[in-house]
Amino acid sequence: MDKREPVIIVEGLTVQYGDNVVLDNVSFEVYKGEIFVIAGGSGCGKSTLLKHIIGLETPYSGKIIINGVDTTNIEDEEMERLRRGIGMLFQGSALFGSMTIGENVALPLTEFTDLSQSAMDLIVKMKLGMVDLSGYENHFPSELSGGMKKRAGIARAMSLEPAMLFLDEPSAGLDPVTTAELDVLIKKINEGIGTTMVIVTHELETIFNVSHRIIMLDKETKGIIAEGDAKELKEHSQNRRVRNFFNRQVEEKNN
Amino acid sequence: MPGNGKSFSIEGKKNGDITLFLRGRIGLADFTVLFSEIKTLFIEFSPSKLTVDFSHVEYFDSSGALFLVQLEDEAVAQSVPFTIINVSAQQKQMLSLVDREALRAPSLRVRERSLNLVEQLGNETMNVLRDAYEVILFWGELVYEVVFSIRHPGNIRWNDVVSYMKKVGVDGLPIVALISFLLGLIMAFMSALQLKPFGANIYVASLVAVAMVRELGPIITAIIVAGRSGSAFAAEIGTMRVNEEVDALITMGFNPTRFLAIPKLLASMFVVPILTGFSNIFAIAGGLFVGVLGLDLTVYTYVKETMDAIDMFDVMSGLLKSIVFAAFIAAIGCQRGFKVRGGAEAVGNATTSAVVSAIFLIIIIDSTFAITFHYIR
CATH code, domain with A39:
3.40.50.300
Co-location of A45 and A116 in the same domain: no
Structural domain containing residue A121 = 94-161
Could you give the number of structural domains in chain B? 2
Is residue B231's pLDDT more than 60?
A: yes
* B266-316 residue pLDDT tens: 999 999 999 999 999 999 999 999 999 888 889 999 999 999 999 899 899
Q: How far lies B11's CA from each of A246, A255, B81, B254, in Å?
A: 58, 80, 16, 77
Contact A192 B31 (CB under 8 A): no
Could you give the number of structural domains in chain A? 2
Per-residue confidence (pLDDT) for residue B195, from 0 to 100? 85
Q: Is B28 on the interface with A (CB under 8 A)?
A: yes
Q: Is A123 on the interface with B (CB under 8 A)?
A: yes
Per-residue confidence (pLDDT) for residue A251, from 0 to 100? 66
Answer yes or no: is B160 within a domain.
yes
Q: What is d(CA A153, CA A127) in angstroms, rounded to the nearest whole number? A: 11
Tell me which of B82, B104, B126 is where a domain ends.
B104
Co-location of B160 and B90 in the same domain: no
* Percentage, residues of chain B above pLDDT 90: 53
Three-state secondary structure call for residue A66:
strand
Contact B94 A193 (CB under 8 A): yes
Co-location of A16 and A123 in the same domain: no
Q: How confident is the model at residue A252 (pLDDT cuts 50, 70, 90)?
A: low
Q: Is B163 on the interface with A (CB under 8 A)?
A: no
Answer yes or no: is B120 within a domain.
no
Is residue A57's pLDDT more than 70?
A: yes
Q: What is d(CA B264, CA A34) in angstroms, rounded to the nearest whole number? A: 54
Answer yes or no: is B147 within a domain.
no
How many helices (H) and strands (E) are present in chain A, helices listed first? 9, 10
Per-residue confidence (pLDDT) for residue B3, from 0 to 100? 42
Q: Within a 10 A sphere around the Cβ of B228, how many other Cβ atoms?
A: 17
Tell me which of A123, A145, A161 is where a domain ends.
A161
Interface size, chain A vs chain B, as Cβ–Cβ contacts under 8 Å: 94
* B242-256 residue pLDDT tens: 888 998 888 888 889
* A63-118 residue pLDDT tens: 999 999 999 888 888 888 888 889 999 988 889 888 899 999 999 999 888 888 98
Contact B96 A116 (CB under 8 A): no
Q: How confident is the model at residue B11 (pLDDT cuts 50, 70, 90)?
A: confident
Q: How confident is the model at residue B41 (pLDDT cuts 50, 70, 90)?
A: confident
**Among candidates A24, A43, A28, which has minimal Cα distance to A202?**
A43
Co-location of A151 and A211 in the same domain: no
Query: Does the ipTM exceed 0.90?
Result: no
Per-residue confidence (pLDDT) for residue B141, from 0 to 100? 92
Answer yes or no: is B255 within a domain.
yes
Per-residue confidence (pLDDT) for residue B230, from 0 to 100? 96
Structural domain containing residue B62 = 8-104
Per-residue confidence (pLDDT) for residue B237, from 0 to 100? 96
Q: What is d(CA B231, CA B290) in angstroms, rounded to the nearest whole number? A: 34
Co-location of B250 and B334 in the same domain: yes
Least confident of A170-174, B169-173, B306-310, B334-338: A170-174
Assign 3-state DSSP to chain A and report helix, strand, coil percentages, each to 5. 40, 25, 35
Answer yes or no: is A140 within a domain.
yes
Is residue B1's pLDDT more than 60?
A: no
Per-residue confidence (pLDDT) for residue B6, from 0 to 100? 58
Answer yes or no: is B298 within a domain.
yes
Q: Is B107 on the interface with A (CB under 8 A)?
A: yes
The better pLDDT of the pair B4, B14 is held by: B14
Least confident of B79-93, B101-115, B139-153: B101-115
Co-location of B94 and B164 in the same domain: no
Per-residue confidence (pLDDT) for residue A217, from 0 to 100? 93
Co-location of A2 and A81 in the same domain: yes
Answer yes or no: is B149 within a domain.
no
Answer yes or no: is A155 within a domain.
yes
Contact A139 B66 (CB under 8 A): no
Co-location of A172 and A238 in the same domain: yes
Answer yes or no: is B34 within a domain.
yes
* B121-146 residue pLDDT tens: 999 999 989 988 998 999 999 999 99
Distance in Å, alpha carbon of B2 to nearest chain A alpha carbon: 22
Contact A139 B108 (CB under 8 A): yes
Answer yes or no: is B212 within a domain.
yes
Co-location of A117 and A140 in the same domain: yes
Contact B62 A98 (CB under 8 A): no
Q: What angle do CA A124, A137, A105 make, to 5 degrees?
A: 45
Most confident of A34-48, B26-40, B131-145, B269-283: B269-283
Is residue A1's pLDDT more than 50?
A: no
Assign 3-state DSSP to chain B and report helix, strand, coil percentages, each to 5. 75, 10, 15
Amino acid identity of residue B69, one-letter, is V
* A125-172 residue pLDDT tens: 999 998 889 999 999 998 898 889 999 999 999 999 999 999 999 888
Answer yes or no: is A129 within a domain.
yes
Stated pTM of the model: 0.75
Q: What is the mean pLDDT of chain B?
A: 89
Per-residue confidence (pLDDT) for residue A253, from 0 to 100? 60
Going by their DSSP bridges, the two strands A86-89 and A164-168 should be labelled as parallel
